[in-house]
Structure 1
Amino acid sequence: MSQREAAGKLGIDHTTMVALVDALEGKKLIERRRSPPDRRKNIVRLTPAGRERLRDAEFARQEMERRFLAPPSGPDAGCLVHALRSLLGADRTSRRSTS
């Protein structure tokens, strides 16, 4: 993917993308190559170290998601239920006062 295409997909401006690519390239996580058919374009690719870092990041994301979505147990479950009921009660009270 070209640097410009990546910036468009990420929704960031060209200047920010250049700085981001420079930083990642400095860490040897990506490499920038000229596009053979269009020498004005830079093609950005993950290096082996970049692919490894991406795998590690995905594993960490999945683990945090699992922990976040895991149901609480024991006293934590009671606290969560109490807090949710309080929020529900507060929502019902505010609806009645605005009706």
Structure 2
Amino acid sequence: MFEDRKDAAEKLARALERYRSRKTLVLGIPRGGAETAYYVARHLDAEMSLVITRKLGYPGNPEAAFGAVAEDGSFYISEMASEVLSADTINEDQPKK
């Protein structure tokens, strides 16, 4: 499908060509999304910024994410995870304020 992230970004940027020169802001989520966002922004002559998040991993399988928390404390929990995991399990992985 894609040779690498740069190839993916170039194909995505071509599909987003209508946003060139429209004060577009391209957001990337590190790690891989940062590189992709860079190439998309460069192609579109757009600004780029990063959204810093922390992955929420399943108990016993932390590499598999069920959601994410942003630096402002907002979070996303996948619909499937909210059906499978208890509220206590989900809350255990939330950052403490």
Q: Which protein shows a greater Rg? A: 1
Query: Would you say same fold, with TM above 0.5?
Result: no
In the superposition, the TM-score normalised over structure 1's length comes to 0.24
In the superposition, the TM-score normalised over structure 2's length comes to 0.25
Structure with the larger helix share? 1
Structure with the larger strand share? 2
